[in-house]
Structure 1
Amino acid sequence: MSMTTPPGWYPDPGSPAIERWWDGTAWTGYTRAAGQPAVPVVPPPPPAAATVPLPSAGERPQGRGRGPVAAVVGAAVVLVAAIVAGVALLGEDDSGPAAVAAPDQPTQSATSHTRSAAPSPSATATDDRSVLVDQLNGITLPVLPGWEKPDHESTMARFPTMWTKDTFDCPGDKGAYCHHAVVTSRTAAATDLTTAEAIAKHDIADAAADAYDKDVLGNRHYGGIASHREVRSASVVVAGRTGYLVRWSVRTGAGPGGYVESLAFPSSVGSESMIIVRFAFDAGAGAVPLTGMDRITEGIRVIGGAQNGGVGSSLAPPTP
């Protein structure tokens, strides 16, 4: 039997040090430090029943005369149901959020490049194969021809990810296969940096290591990073917001290496936290043109085309 997770604060899938507000349908942009006291979520009161005057003793009711009585009884039933629902939500014991089904907390998968699926408690808006949905940050990325994204039902990973359909034997690990290009989206977490430029410049080394040094299991599918050089560093407009990108050319211990890019820009939802989109494009045979990085960047959009809390209705967290 499926369970619907009620609105509330839950651990952020991208950063355990913070909590993110789940509005009952999707993740929103609201965040707070982990461990703050819980604020009860009280459902809105039902619409007030209209007062309908009853006929006087000498006045003959029209028709069967049951309309006003049915309206009053119906309003009473709605009010009782709302009270019961409110008591159920407020009556948590010491077990806290663990007493209800919390949103899914995906885990990292071990692959050549980092592969991920959007942290999606429901399948809403993830069925469109032409876009990669980052519900947590309220954006979509275009899935280019020849690219694909994993089915969220069958892939458990930390970040929304897409990659090229074609694969090849990893040059430094013939027992594994690699994609020619991989793109991931995530929230910039665990940093005191506040500008897109500073975050992109700080993240690029980690992006390169994740793509071409060691995977989560310590495997070196490309023989590790031998050297790198910066090939581009510039401001860029992403989904109407000013961001910054840094791109490196990376030489590896095995194979031709490739290019990595860290693109940072502020979210248009909630607290407007910084988003990082990482690109890893291999060089050599079957390489994807670097213009693909720019095409994906230009195609990033805000979910729904408005500044909202993600897919579906957005219930804001209660004010302390």
Structure 2
Amino acid sequence: MSVTPPPGWYSDPSYPLVERWWDGTAWTDHRRQPEVPRQPLMQTPPAEGSGSGRARTVALVTAAAVLVAAIVTGAVLLRHDGGGEAAAQTTSAAPSPTGTEEPPPSPSGPSPSAGDPSVVVDELNGITFPVLDGWVKPQYAADHDMVLSTPRTYDCPGDPGLCRHGRVDSRTATATDETSPKALAEGDIADAADSAYGHDLLGSRPFRGITSHELVKSASVAVAGRAGYLVRWKVKTGVGPGGYVESLVFPSSVGSQSPVIVRFALDAGADGPPLSDMDRITAGIRPVGRKDAGGGVGSSIGPSR
């Protein structure tokens, strides 16, 4: 019986020179360069699609029970032995259920930025976002793509629900072979507008849909030292003040450098955040662990794919 490793970065079984994110049940499309050289693993996560969720759960529980039993037994013997060499040998780790002595690989340690309250860390894409005044790290959000939001909610003016005056989402473009930031931003902006002001995750229309839009801005931009592109719309909605939506695309600085898509949605009107926050957040995006690789419109543009 094999033990399923916990979520984390592991050597990519299809390309061992990079690390790939294992979410605890399956491989994702997120990759990065290894932080430190890794030895070949005696036990690796299963290939994509192998095994059932129930089997993985049973295996993990069994492994935990074996490990706890070994620790308890060792502690009892050590107490009676008086701490001699034999006791130290007794408390050594028990073999894993697979018969090997090496435990499952553990994920890489947290980024130095992980505990910094002034930034939000997006580990999968290898970037951090600045937490500006009037913005917070989202908690208990149903949408896992959200990295920043305004602190308070309000009753949506259309279909029942709770809305926010501003939000920022981060995702990886994995369902396409397109790598051009310009093409990806231009292709994503309509979906970004619909998800913010057209239909929510449940299919409701919190603003009774989008009635029209106008292009406000489209430009090349340097983000975290990479060459990116943004497209910004102003949208009018069936009810409510409407808002501003932006799709920002740039190559990731980790792994396979898959394009990162950052979506902004800010309500128009007095209650919405200042429109300049889009540019300020963009300029403050950094590679994880670095503070000197910023960007913004007009900045020097780093390497692109």
Shorter-chain TM-score tier = 0.5 to 0.7
Cα distance in 1 for partners of 2:288, 2:30 equals: 18
Whether 2:270 is the aligned partner of 1:253: answer no
Partner of 1:164: 150
Identical amino acids, percent of aligned pairs: 50
Kindly provide the amino acid, as one letter, of the partner of residue 145 in structure 2. Answer: F
* Structure 2 residues without counterparts, runs of 5 or longer: 13-19, 36-46, 51-84, 293-305
State the SS of the aligned residue for 1:304.
coil
Residue number in structure 2 paired with 1:279: 264
For 1:249-304, what per-residue CA distance to the aligned partner results, in whole angstroms no more than 9, with x for missing partners? Answer: 11111112111000000111111111111000111231211100000000000111
Which residue pairs with 2:132 in the alignment? 144
Cα–Cα, structure 1 residues 87 and 243, in superposed 2: closer, same or farther, change >3 Å?
A: same
Contact between 1:200 and 1:245, CA under 8 Å: does it hold in 2? yes
Partner of 1:269: 254
One-letter amino acid of the counterpart of residue 150, structure 1:
P
Q: Hey, what does 1:240 align to over in structure 2?
A: 225
- Give, in whole Å, the separation in 2 of the partners of 1:284 and 1:306: 33
Question: Which whole-Å deviations, capped at 9, do the CAs of 1:64-88 have from their partners, x for residues lacking one?
Answer: xxxxxxxxx9xxx8xx989989925
**Among candidates 184, 209, 221, match of residue 194 of structure 2:** 209
Aligned length: 227
Q: 1:7 to 1:86 in 2, by over 3 A?
A: farther
For 2:34 and 2:177, the matched residues in 1 are separated by: 30
**Compared CA separation, residues 176 and 189, structure 1 to 2 (3 A):** same
Alignment-derived partner of residue 312 in structure 1? none
Query: Is this contact kept in 2: 1:132–1:161, CA < 8 A?
Result: yes
**Mapped partners of 2:270, 2:129: distance in 1:** 26
Alpha-carbon separation, structure 2, partners of 1:283 and 1:183: 15
Residues 5 and 299 of structure 1: CA distance in aligned 2, closer, same or farther (over 3 Å): closer
Pairing partner for 2:274 from 289, 293, 309: 289
Do the aligned residues in 2 keep the contact of 1:4 with 1:24 (CA within 8 Å)? no
- Give matches, 1:31-110, under 5 Å: 35=48, 87-88=100-101
TM-score, length basis structure 1: 0.60
TM-score (norm 2): 0.63
**How far does residue 168 in structure 1 lie from its aligned partner after superposition?**
2.6
Displacement of 1:146 in angstroms is: 1.2
What is the root-mean-square deviation of aligned Cα atoms in Å? Answer: 4.0
Quote the residue 2:181 is aligned against.
196
Pair 1:22–1:232, CA change in 2 (3 A): closer
Partner AA of 1:165 in structure 2: P
Amino acid at match of 1:285: A
Structure 2 distance, partners of 1:7, 1:255, is: 43
Question: 1:33-72 deviations in whole A, cap 9, x for unaligned?
Answer: x8499xxxxxxxxxxxxxxxxxxxxxxxxxxxxxxxxxxx
Paired letter, 1:205: A
Write the distance in 2 (CA, Å) between the matches of 1:7 and 1:87: 21
Partner Cα distance (2:240, 2:203) in 1: 18
Aligned to 2:120: 132
8 Å CA contact 1:197, 1:244 repeated in 2? yes
Higher relative contact order (CA 8 A, sep 6+): 1
2-structure distance, mates of 1:245, 1:22: 24
Task: Give the partner amino acid of 1:183.
Answer: V
Return the offset for 1:140.
Answer: 0.3
Q: Is the 8 A contact 1:223 1:254 kept in 2?
A: yes
| Cα separation, 2, equivalents of 1:158 and 1:180 | 18
- SS of 2:190 mapped into structure 1: helix
Distance in 2, Cα, partners of 1:23 & 1:196: 21
Answer with 1 or 2: which has the greater Rg: 1
Q: For structure 1, list consecutive stretches of 5 or more residues without a partner in the other structure.
A: 26-33, 38-72, 91-99, 104-119, 308-320
Distance 1:171-1:155 versus aligned 2 partners, 3 A rule:
closer
SS at match of 2:154: strand
| CA shift for structure 1 position 191 | 1.0
